[in-house]
Structure 1
Amino acid sequence: MDILEEIVARKRIDLDHLKTVYTEHDIHREVEKLMDEGNSVASMRKALMQSKTGIIAEFKRRSPSKGWIKEDADASIIPLAYQQSGASALSILTDLPYFGGKDKDIRMARQSGVTLPVLYKNFIIDEYQLFEARLCGASAVLLIAACLKKDECKTLLYMAHQLGLEVLLEMHNEAETEYADLQPDLCGINNRNLGTFHTDVQNSFLLASRLPKDACRVSESGLKDAATLEALRLAGYNGFLMGERFMKEANPGEALKEFIV
Structure 2
Amino acid sequence: MSTTVLDSIIDGVRADLDTRRAATPLARIRDLAAETTAQRPAADVCARLDGRDTVGLIAEIKRSSPSKGALADIPEPADLARSYEAAGATAISVLTEQRRFGGSLHDLDRVRTAVDIPLLRKDFTVEEYQIYEARAHGADIVLLIVAALTDAQLAEHLQLTHELGMRALVEAHSADELERALATDARLIGVNARNLKTLDLDLDGAAALLPTIPGDRFAIGESAVLKKAHVETYARHGADAVLVGEALVTDGDPEATARDFLSVPAQTDERRNR
Q: Does the TM-score normalized on the shorter chain lie above 0.5?
A: yes
Q: What is the one-letter code of the residue matched to 2:51?
A: Q
Instruction: Give CA-to-partner distance per residue, 1:110-166, whole Å, 9 cap, x none.
Output: 212x11111110000000000111011111000000100111111001011111110
TM-superposed deviation, 1:10: 1.4
Task: Among all aligned residue pairs of Structure 1 and Structure 2, give the percentage whose two residues are the same amino acid.
Answer: 31
1:205: which partner in 2?
A: 207
Q: What is the one-letter code of the residue matched to 1:239?
A: A
Distance in structure 1 (CA, Å) of the matches to 2:215 and 2:151? 21
1:90: which partner in 2?
A: 92
- What secondary structure, in the 3-state scheme, does the structure 1 residue paired with 2:243 have? strand
Distance in structure 2 (CA, Å) of the matches to 1:249 and 1:176? 32
- What secondary structure, in the 3-state scheme, does the structure 2 residue paired with 1:182 have? coil
- For structure 2, the residue ranges without an aligned partner over 5 or more in a row are 264-274
Is 2:212 the partner of 1:223? no
TM-superposed deviation, 1:53: 3.0
**Structure 1 vs Structure 2 CA RMSD:** 1.6
Distance in structure 1 (CA, Å) of the matches to 2:232 and 2:5? 32
1:163: which partner in 2?
A: 164
Q: What is the one-letter code of the residue matched to 2:102?
A: G
Q: What is the one-letter code of the residue matched to 1:10?
A: G
Query: Which residue of 13, 22, 28 corresponds with 1:11?
Result: 13
Distance in structure 2 (CA, Å) of the matches to 1:95 and 1:154? 23
Q: How does 1:1-261 map to 2 (within 5 A)?
A: 1-35=3-37, 37-51=38-52, 52-112=54-114, 114-179=115-180, 180-260=182-262
TM-score under structure 2 length normalisation? 0.89
Aligned residues: 259
Distance in structure 2 (CA, Å) of the matches to 1:72 and 1:236? 32
- For structure 1, the residue ranges without an aligned partner over 5 or more in a row are none
Instruction: Give CA-to-partner distance per residue, 1:159-204, whole Å, 9 cap, x none.
Output: 1111111010000001111221102120000000111111111122
Query: Is 2:43–2:166's contact at 8 Å kept on the other side of the alignment?
Result: no
Query: Is 1:47–1:117's contact at 8 Å kept on the other side of the alignment?
Result: no
- What secondary structure, in the 3-state scheme, does the structure 2 residue paired with 1:100 have? coil
Query: Is 1:61–1:73's contact at 8 Å kept on the other side of the alignment?
Result: no
TM-superposed deviation, 1:74: 1.7
Q: What is the one-letter code of the residue matched to 1:144?
A: I
Distance in structure 2 (CA, Å) of the matches to 1:90 and 1:214? 23
Distance in structure 2 (CA, Å) of the matches to 1:158 and 1:62? 31
TM-superposed deviation, 1:90: 1.1
